[in-house]
Amino acid sequence: MAPAVSSFFDFAAYLASSKALVEDALDKSLAPERPEKLRESMRYSLLAGGKRLRPILCLAACELAGGDSKKALPTAVALEMIHTMSLIHDDLPAMDNDDLRRGRPTNHKKFGDALAILAGDALLTRAFEMVALRSPGIPEERLIKVIGELSLVAGAPGLVGGQVVDLESEGKEVDLDTLEFIHLHKTGALLKACVICGALIGGANEDLLKALGVYARGIGLAFQIIDDILDVTASSEVLGKTAGKDLIADKTTYPKLLGLEESRIRADGLISEAKKALSPWHETSMPLLALADYITNRDR
């Protein structure tokens, strides 16, 4: 049985206070600089809201490893920058070609394709700067490991590889193995990096890193299954992005292959497995357990 989340843990308060910390750090990460138009475009997407799940996972994993989550904030910001970059690029006409993101026009709709591409590039490189040059009080060997994780997740072994297979698969019959490959690389890899990087900053030992790897695989895959489900069941207004997009782009999804009910059962099973991996840390893993539940229970 997966460990239950204690009724004494106030998840709503935890989420609100973590989100406030993250929003403040994101805001400060893009201080006045030139060219002003580039900064405006970067800020437009980075500060457009969003659930901030990735930075919060990073902070929670740092705490579980026994670290001070405030020291993980630059890494948490870096991860949200990589995520935001991937959303900007994903929305471009040459990729998913979308007009709506986080409840407002996509970056390229507001600033044009060229500046959207460059804002994404600047966010990606700023992410590495956050870790390498703006993370005081963290031993260098931990920062080097984090930079290694970021380089893997942002590149061919992570987001880019997943995106390429996703684009290649549009309009084709795709089997469950290929779909899992896409989800694990396009979405799961970054969620895993959030957990692992937070834990590395906090000084996690090998046992904890291994367990967090299992946890992260489960929540990563479940997150994308729920995303596929919400694409069918939720409105654009609630999602803040175009609903029904997978059908329009003729994408294979979990609901398409398994049906809605079976997809939800699969997501619940993955969350259960993810939580089970943390059972040796049941006293201290409450935030990560609750975040796992949040992933399947969310409505956007």
274 binds ligand GRG (CB under 6 A): no
Q: Say if residues 295 and 222 touch (Cβ distance below 8 Å).
A: yes
Q: How many CB atoms lie within 10 A of CB 4?
A: 10
Query: Between 176 and 205, how does the x/- string for binding to ligand GRG read (CB under 6 A)?
Result: ----------xx------------------
50 binds ligand GRG (CB under 6 A): yes
Binding region for ligand GRG (CB under 6 A) out of 13-21, 157-165, 193-201, 269-277: 157-165
Residue 89: closest CA among 52, 114, 125, 54 = 114
- What whole-number distance in Å separates Cα of residue 221 and Cα of residue 83? 16
Helix or strand run (H / E) with residue 204: none
- What whole-number distance in Å separates Cα of residue 167 and Cα of residue 231? 17
75 binds ligand GRG (CB under 6 A): no
Please report how close the Cβ of residue 154 comes to ligand GRG at its closest, in angstroms. Answer: 5
- E strands, 25-101, are 100-101
CA dihedral 38, 42, 44, 49 (to 10 degrees): -170
Please report how close the Cβ of residue 49 comes to ligand GRG at its closest, in angstroms. Answer: 7
86 binds ligand GRG (CB under 6 A): yes
232 binds ligand GRG (CB under 6 A): no
260 binds ligand GRG (CB under 6 A): no
Interface with ligand GRG (CB under 6 A), residue from 63, 98, 149, 227: 227
Interface with ligand GRG (CB under 6 A), residue from 18, 75, 107, 163: 163
Interface with ligand GRG (CB under 6 A), residue from 98, 102, 150, 253: 102
Residue 88 identity (one-letter amino acid): I
Three-state DSSP string of 157-185: CCHHHHHHHHHHHCCCCCCHHHHHHHHHH
Handedness of CA 21, 23, 27, 29 (dihedral sign): positive
Binding region for ligand GRG (CB under 6 A) out of 46-54, 140-148, 213-221, 255-263: 46-54
Question: Which residues of this chain interact with ligand GRG, rule CB under 6 A?
Answer: 50-51, 53, 86-87, 89-90, 95, 102, 124, 154, 159-160, 163, 186-187, 224, 227
